[in-house]
Chains A and B, each alone.
Chain A
Amino acid sequence: MTSLISAREVHRRYRRGGFFRKAEPLHVLRGVDLEIREGEAVGLVGRSGCGKSTLGRIVLGLERPDEGTVLYDGRDVFAADGERFKEYRRNVQVVFQNVQGAVNPRMTAGEIVAEPLRNFLGLSKKEAVERSRPLLEQVGLHGSDADKFPAHFSGGELQRVCIARALAPEPKAVVFDEAVSSLDMLVQARVLDLIRKIRDERGLACLFISHDLRVVAGLCDEVALMADGVIAARERSVAALAASGHPAIKRLLESVPPSRPLHCRERATTDGEPEPLPVHVAAGVSQAAM
């Protein structure tokens, strides 16, 4: 497999402070190297605020790195001229977490999916909307759903519309940024199945960003752990990552909700309502307990 996208020594700092005061910039990415090969699914796990999404946005070309660069097919993305940059944007698509915020409420599903077709393939609006119908069917919706507005879809259905939009210009890679985190469990399971199916059919490369190890496990060919602004470890699976013993992966693993009820729970045995603790006693107890 050849390398499709590779981030090299990427640094990103965010300016802090307001109009009147400057503060130390926030150094989010501190030299990140990440490689995504053709048709490969890479999971990117880490805590909130560790820079996963920033890296995702840089890979998408939505943000420029302060240092370092991103190569696509061996060529520097950010040095590319307009035409080649557009080609890159076409080939790397995205599905975001906030589905309601990712679509224009005044456009129909058909128009939403048609937008990249019009942008990148230069189709007319009518042609593009017609092309959107089979795409909507591919993601498990009906062709007739193309005439409906976002308000008439549930969260899971709308995420399918977003997936159809990402697939429309036939990209080589898709970035899924917490794409199933805001969905309830049943819907999440179905959307994950859909993503797996599409991946297998199209040989898409994926960057799958999530804080939930359960979502990434079994979906990805490789899993990268992000901590302190760098890729702290990269392994073939979550299990291999766990074996690496990095403190960040240990914390993530320990925090995964259990699959079965915890048996050793102590149960309340008192009748009625006990006296509330006086506030200073509560403070004492809590400090001892923490």
Chain B
Amino acid sequence: MSALLEVRDLRVETVAAPVKELVRGVSFDVRAGETTCIVGASGSGKSLSCLSVPGLLPQGVRRTGGEIFFRGERLDDAAPEALTRLRGSAVSMVMQSPMSCFDPIFSIESHFRETLRAHGVRGRRAMDERITAALAEVGFEDDPAIRHAYPFQLSGGMLQRTMLAIALMLDPELLIADEATSDLDTVAQARVLDLIDAARRRRKMGVLLVTHDFGVAARMADRLMVMDGGTVVERGQVEDLFADPSHECTKALLAAHGKLCARMREEECAV
């Protein structure tokens, strides 16, 4: 079975001198219907690795090597227009900070319309149908008020669900979530993670999830890869990695995670 997304020997470096290689030969796959998690400390190159996929690297860094295949087709040398068509429809993203991803002077509904227009959906009724369905998918079916609300009127958790609704609206085959729940409290985080997982099962969608929290990886991942210093230091099925980590970096991260959880267990917090 070929993977939905294949990334081979990806390299990213800074544009300005002194040139610093930030991602050094990273390869990974995401299969349809599965969740691949990238975990690692801050600055290990996990975000750059996944931002490279839809061609959304920030200014100041550039991709210098590697191949990216989506559904078997090369993405890395695709025309900008082809990438634009893909982004938001077949490949969509949920980012970390919901407050800075929405434009405060536009209503929630116009954010949906913008995405639909960009992908050639025309007509008020067609748009309304899609927006209603998308909002329903993230649990806002009984809440028409949300369409006319402005981003600053919603909580971080609600905004993140809204961002997920926009990302899922055009039925993506691949969802990239870059620390999508790191800014939320644990209750809102659990809700958003559940919604992502439900959408994955419903659509047989591939999910690429970046997180620094091994607890989030434990909840979501099928496959796990651990990054450090711009390289993948270890990868495998999530159960195997948790049970038998071999690289020092994985061990250190798991130890920190274990310690955090152990304090909960010591106190025997039965739900």
Contacts and interface: CB of A to CB of B under 8 A. Distances in A.
Q: Do A and B come from one complex?
A: yes
Interface of A: 47-49, 154-156, 182-189, 211-215, 217-219, 237-239, 242-243, 250-263, 265-274, 276-277, 279-280, 282-283, 285-287, 289-290
Interface string B224-257: 0000000000000011001000000000110011
Given A49-B155, A280-B129, A287-B141, A189 B269 contact: no
Given A214-B263, A214-B264, A258-B219, A186 B41 contact: yes
Contacts of A279: 129-130, 133, 171
A285 B201 CA distance: 11
Contact of A211 (B185, B198, B212): B185
B17 interface: no
Given A155-B42, A184-B212, A255-B189, A283 B202 contact: no
B149 interface: no
Contacts of B265: 259
23 contacts: A48-B156, A154-B43, A184-B212, A185-B256, A185-B260, A186-B252, A189-B260, A214-B260, A214-B264, A218-B266, A239-B267, A254-B190, A257-B189, A259-B265, A260-B218, A262-B218, A266-B201, A270-B33, A271-B1, A274-B32, A282-B171, A283-B133, A289-B198
A282 B137 contact: yes
A154 B41 CA distance: 11
The number of chain B residues touching the other chain, given as a range, is: 35 or more
Interface in B1-28: 1, 4
Contact of A283 (B33, B137, B182, B270): B137
B76 interface: no
Contacts of B74: none
A277 B139 CA distance: 18
Nearest to B182: A182
Interface of B: 1, 4, 31-34, 41-43, 71, 129-130, 132-133, 136-137, 139, 141, 155-157, 171, 173, 182, 184-191, 198, 201-204, 212-219, 221-222, 238-239, 242, 252-253, 256-261, 263-271
Contacts of A49: 155
B204 A270 contact: yes
A259 B264 CA distance: 10
Nearest to A223: B267
Nearest to B43: A154
A286 B202 contact: yes
A238 to B, nearest CB: 5
Nearest to B252: A186
Most chain A beta-carbon contacts within 10 A, residue among B129, B171, B257, B264: B264
Contacts of A252: 186-187
Closest 8 CB pairs of A and B: A268-B33, A257-B215, A218-B263, A283-B133, A259-B261, A239-B267, A211-B185, A255-B190
B269 A277 contact: no
Given A257-B219, A282-B137, A217 B269 contact: yes
Given A258-B218, A261-B218, A274-B204, A286 B269 contact: no
Looking at B31, B188, B215, the one whose CB has the most chain A CB atoms below 10 A away is B215
Contact of B214 (A185, A217, A267, A269): A185
B75 to A, nearest CB: 15
Contacts of B182: 182
Contacts of B270: 242-243
